[in-house]
Amino acid sequence: MRPLLLLLTACAATFAAVPASAERLTLDRIYGDTALAGPGVKNLRVSPDGERVTFLRGRADNQHQQDLWEYNMKTKTTQRLVDSKRLVPNEELSLEEKARRERARTAGLSGILTYHWSPDGKKLLVPIAGDLYLVDAARPDAPRKVASGNVIDPKISPKGRYVSFVRNQNLVVIDLQTGAERQLTHDGKGTIHNGEAEFVAQEEMDQHTGYYWAPDDSAIAYRRYDEAPVPVVRRFEIFADRTEVIDQHYPAAGDPNVLIELMIVDPATGQQRKVDLGPDKDIYLVRADFSADAKTLVYQRQSRDQKRLDLVAVDVDTLAQRPLLSETSPTWVEIHNDLRFLKQKKAFIWASERSGRKHLYLIGLDGKLQYPLSKGEWGVDNILAVDEAAGKLYISSGKDAMIDKQTYALKLDGSNAGAPTRITSGDGWHEAAFSGNGKIFVDTYSSPTTPPQVSIRRADGSMVEWLEKNELNASHPYGKHMAEHLPTEYGTLKAKDGQVLHYSIIKPSNFDATKRYPVFLFTYGGPHSQRVTRTWGNYFDQYMAQQGFVVFRLDNRGSGRRERAFTDALYNNLGKVEVEDQLAGIDWLAKQSFVDPKRVGVFGWSYGGYMTLRLLAAASSKIAMGVSVAPVTDWALYDTHYTERYVGGTPKSDPQAYQRSGVFAHLDGMTSPLLLVHGMADDNVLFTNTTRLIDELVKRNVQFDLMTYPGAKHGISGKVNQRHVYGMIEAFFKKHLGGVQAN
């Protein structure tokens, strides 16, 4: 259950002159075709030759339809490279592609969603609607279709000789020298999949690929899995005009997972070899990577209970194996994407939370620790780039402030492990995309008073050029709303165990401290998620504050980007510390003179929907109403990897943990009004979660409001659906909480 992006907060620019006339936000405007924040950019990449910065941008008439653009470093000009509408005027997506987009949280987008540079920086590989195009960067108006037929996960090989992709559950390559297409696997059908990531790998392990190229194009390691052991859940996807019956292999907690294998194939000959993953077949294959010299394949194997992660090296020629290291934890071992092999040294960079915080270590190819690359009372978010020539490693972190994200430089000799050099300026949130050699990066920066700006910078942080300055002036889409834009304030509270909790608060328009206001409390609350950040604000938060609500968020224990003592607090008893911490926030609000403690409402989606139910059940005396969207109600209904990681055990091995972590054991305390919302084709948090809750509420004679969306999946995506669901949320809050009252 990775966090769900509820609202698209695209790019705008810094404060400049705002127009004299000002308008408050409307839901129609928020969900209109034109992006409120101006011309946003996504999927930023520096071409391998360093001559271009490419990105995806929504069209002027439809922010959700994306085209491919470039900024030319030599000519300092920006132009559209590929018009998605010219390639495919009307998209028709396969069921498999729709499912992949749901996993990747891109179901609301169309056009070009991703692309790949050739290693020489001359060509781009562009997939769209199941077809695959090769685009010459110098002649982008003449794209060449190289494959079709529901192509997924396309790549250009590291040396540029091949294009690879998965089609009809089989791995395929095209030799770009000869144009010949070769299907490398032939048994992909039914329950057998080659080169794909299985459901839980996509949804919970941040794995959206199932195959991995050797750096010299000599081999591909790929996942082969059989989902036959996974129970079939028969889902009824109810649309406005029809009902489709879907048989989905869904591994609920305690169920068998797929049978996973790791294979190596020669792309030139098709020769196959199988890597032995060990005697225990009930494992997770987390990642696979080749060493810089392509002689070693390294795979990550996680135990079913997720308390052990092994890193194993395989000799590509002989398939002989040797263990490199193991990570263990009494709760769970966190997985990551931060394995990097060095080219100039027989060593690799590895991320570990063995110290209680995520830090980086240099480890030899013999598996022996050489020295830490980072250390101290802070943690690393992720590796951004490695520049071996300069002896530097670039990372993102909240070292200076937990509600910020900054870019830092570490030295590969470990000499500044405890004191990395910060290279981004401006308190707030920086997302950095580095060139392959680590010499330049694209910085997307925002803060509560600075909508996102995009600039090209050298590795020391100095400016090269604006990519999207996007000044907030009278002609800017948000310009006329800026005078009504409300500031976000930040602070901290203490949890019961003394740990620090961060919160944010937006006070209503025309705020008067002598009056009392209702509260709109948004919660997510689940692991891996941080919702209190010093970034450009969420439009719906702004909207609700402008409607007269105090808008409040709090990151409870278990939330992401924190030390293990903070995240582990929810283990084996979901909903306990999360509810305690949110109630600590509500108690703090009740002490504020401008808050009406009898008019606090809660809204959450996914894990946040679960949190809304648990909060109403625990404290209807303090919470006047709640809106729960797509909630998990019984963790035995959710998938293996996520649920068993945090609940611990299975419904059979630890039934008490599942009972206390679910919703049903606590429902007798729920007396406040509830709006329950769910998509009727949700393949992530299955609709069964809501139908079971409906049944339990009816048995208790609990009245509630219900809204279901025909054909909608977990995100209830699309501007029409989004406009409607947020309109319902607003109306429910206003119905039960009313407006401002005199003190």
pLDDT in tens, 346-363: 999 999 999 999 999 999
Asked about 317 being catalytic, the answer comes back as no
The single-letter code of the amino acid at 563 is: E
What value does the mean pLDDT take over residues 659-666? 97
DSSP 743: -
| Cα gap 442→11, rounded to integer Å | 14
| pLDDT at res. 742 | 57
Strands 220-226 and 211-213: antiparallel
* Nearby residues of 735 by Cβ (< 8 Å), 6 or more positions away: none
**pLDDT reported for residue 740:** 65
Q: Each residue of 703-729: pLDDT tens digit?
A: 999 999 999 999 998 889 999 999 999
What is the pLDDT, as a whole number, of residue 68? 95
pLDDT over threshold 90, residue 274? yes
Residue 743: pLDDT band (50, 70, 90) is low
What average pLDDT does this structure show over 503-512? 97
- Close Cβ partners of 269 (under 8 Å, ≥ 6 residues apart): none
pLDDT at residue number 261: 98
User: What's the pLDDT at 62?
Assistant: 81
Answer whether residue 15 shows pLDDT above 50.
no
Closest alpha carbon to 1 in 641, 675, 468:
641
Is the CB of residue 430 less than 8 Å from the CB of residue 394?
no
Query: Given this model, what pLDDT does residue 21 score?
Result: 56
Q: Phi and psi (nearest 5°) for 720?
A: -65, -50
For the cut 60, the answer to whether the pLDDT of residue 152 exceeds it is yes
Place of tokens 């990681």: 645
**105-151 tens-digit pLDDT:** 677 788 999 999 999 999 999 999 889 999 999 999 999 999 988 89
In 3D, which of 652, 589, 582 has the Cα closest to residue 610? 582
Mean pLDDT confidence for 57-67: 85
- Per-residue CA distances from 394 to 338, 382, 390, 417, 561 (Å): 12, 9, 11, 12, 17
Q: Which residues contact 320 (CB under 8 A, 6 or more apart)?
A: 314
Q: What is the model's pLDDT at position 2?
A: 59
- Cβ contact 371:346 at 8 Å: no
Catalytic residue among 249, 485, 502, 714: 714
Pick the catalytic residue from 606, 628, 661, 672.
Answer: 606
**Strand pairing class (359-364; 488-494):** unpaired
User: From CA 593, how far away is CA 586, in angstroms rounded?
Assistant: 13
Mean pLDDT of the chain: 93
Q: Is 66:112 a contact under the CB 8 Å cutoff? A: yes
Six token digits for residue 462: 């100095």
The amino acid that residue 185 corresponds to is T
- The backbone torsions φ and ψ at residue 177, rounded to the nearest 5 degrees and listed phi first, read -75, -35
Question: Which helix (H) or strand (E) covers residue 488, if one does?
Answer: strand 488-494
Is 714 part of the annotated catalytic residue set? Answer: yes
3-class secondary-structure state, position 432: strand
From the candidates 164, 682, 683, 717, give the one annotated as an active-site residue.
Answer: 682
Structure tokens given for 143 = 């794209």
Whether residue 8 is predicted with pLDDT greater than 80 in this model: the reply is no
For 171-237, the three-class secondary structure string (H helix, E strand, C coil) is EEEEECCCCCEEECCCCCECCEEECCCCHHHHHHCCCCCCEEECCCCCCEEEEEEECCCCCEEEEEE
Tally the C-alpha atoms within 13 A of residue 205's C-alpha that lie toward its C-beta.
Answer: 25
Cβ of 273: how many Cβ atoms within 10 Å? Answer: 14
Q: Which of 571, 504, 559 is nearest to 535 (CA)?
A: 504
Active-site annotation holds for 110: no
Nearest in space to 192 (alpha carbons), one of 173, 221, 168, 213: 168
